[in-house]
Amino acid sequence: MAKSITGNFFEDFSVGMELRHATPLTLSEGDISLYRGLTGSRHALYSSETIARANGYDRLPVDPLLAFHVVFGKTVPDISLNAVANLGYADGRFLRAVYPGDTLRAVSEVIGLKENSSGKTGVVYVRTRGLNQNDEDVLSFVRWVMVDKKDTASPPPMAVVPTLPNNVDPSHLQPTGDYKHWDDELAGARHRFEDFEIGEKIDHMDGMTIEEAEHQIATRLYQNTARVHFNAFAQIDKRFGKRLVYGGVVISLGRALSFNGLGNAAELLAVNSGTHAGPIFARETVFAWSEVLDKVELTETAGALRLRLVAVKDQDPGQFALFDDTGKYAKGVCLDFDYWAAIPRR
């Protein structure tokens, strides 16, 4: 009897199926340091315990994106071990602060299925919840992933494509920090909520080259076991002939680069949508720009910016090129990420 896990193929999924994922992971201060070393993140709330405590946190919190990647990684052996590509995200919510010592686990529900016209693959839609050791939800998100079929002759399931919101309702946004004692100088930025205009575009200017070892270590940190990121031998006969960088690495690098211009937009509140618009490989350089899509007042001390973060590779981000003349993503665009971030008010 075979004992090794081969992962689920498209025909193994059914709508309503619940998956309790192995293995819960306890996060440590070492994970925070390693994440910072791999991304270069400089946002003050996740760098300085002094600043975090002064603005409503018990101690230095875990960056929400690190928590997201860990929860995402839990789901891979059950959902995307046999994936061709992770296609997108929606309705992502960061619900509770995560601290060193917290243990995160994940539970997913299959909410949609649709076989592709080729008959070789299909798209699986799942809603994933990340829970801590007290069974409290700390985050949730929907993602959809293209998964290989094991047997191309197997009949397609009834197509179910879930209806997803265009964005997280801002009335549901709740910052975990209170921003009562925010210090612009220590945070490294001087622009607050009132200084941003809807439609404004920001060139983050800096670039970061992804090295082979870095993206491999990052993906291992999240315990993401997808073969497309690790197994070079298995990719020889695939579409690209080499390993893909995990899209979450690009999200984190883009977010880290956005510090130059959005340093005070410290706290991730929600993910409205996300698309991995193009592949990225080791030795390519990531740049980023952002567009302010909306802004809302949340509390007396904090507002929220709805930001579109666009990551591009090996090109000047100041061109602000998102789509080409045909309406497709422009050459070099590798990430289109729409999210809400908390920012202090004056």
Q: Which domains does the chain possess?
A: 10-344 (3.10.129.10)
Please choose, from the candidates 276, 44, 320, 293, the residue with its C-alpha nearest in 3D space to the C-alpha of residue 181: 44
pLDDT one digit per residue (tens) for the chain, 346 residues:
678 888 999 999 999 999 999 999 999 999 999 999 999 999 999 999 999 999 999 999 999 999 999 999 999 999 998 888 889 999 999 999 999 999 999 999 999 999 999 999 999 999 999 999 999 999 999 999 999 999 999 999 999 999 999 999 999 999 999 999 999 999 999 999 999 999 999 999 999 999 999 999 999 999 999 888 888 898 888 888 999 999 999 999 999 999 999 999 999 999 999 999 999 999 999 999 999 999 999 999 999 999 999 999 999 999 999 999 999 999 999 999 999 999 999 9
Six-digit token string for 145: 């992933």
Please give the structure tokens belonging to residue 134: 């007290």
Interatomic CA distance for residues 171 and 169, integer angstroms = 5
Please check whether residue 173 is in contact with residue 297, taking contact to mean a CB–CB distance below 8 angstroms. Answer: no
User: What global pTM score does this model have?
Assistant: 0.96
Tell me if 103 sits within 8 A of 134, measured CB to CB. no
The answer to whether the CB of 305 falls within 8 A of the CB of 340 is yes
- Cβ atoms of residues 206 and 287 within 8 Å: yes
| Encoded amino acid at 299, one letter | T
Angle at 244 between CA 239 and CA 246, to 5 degrees: 140
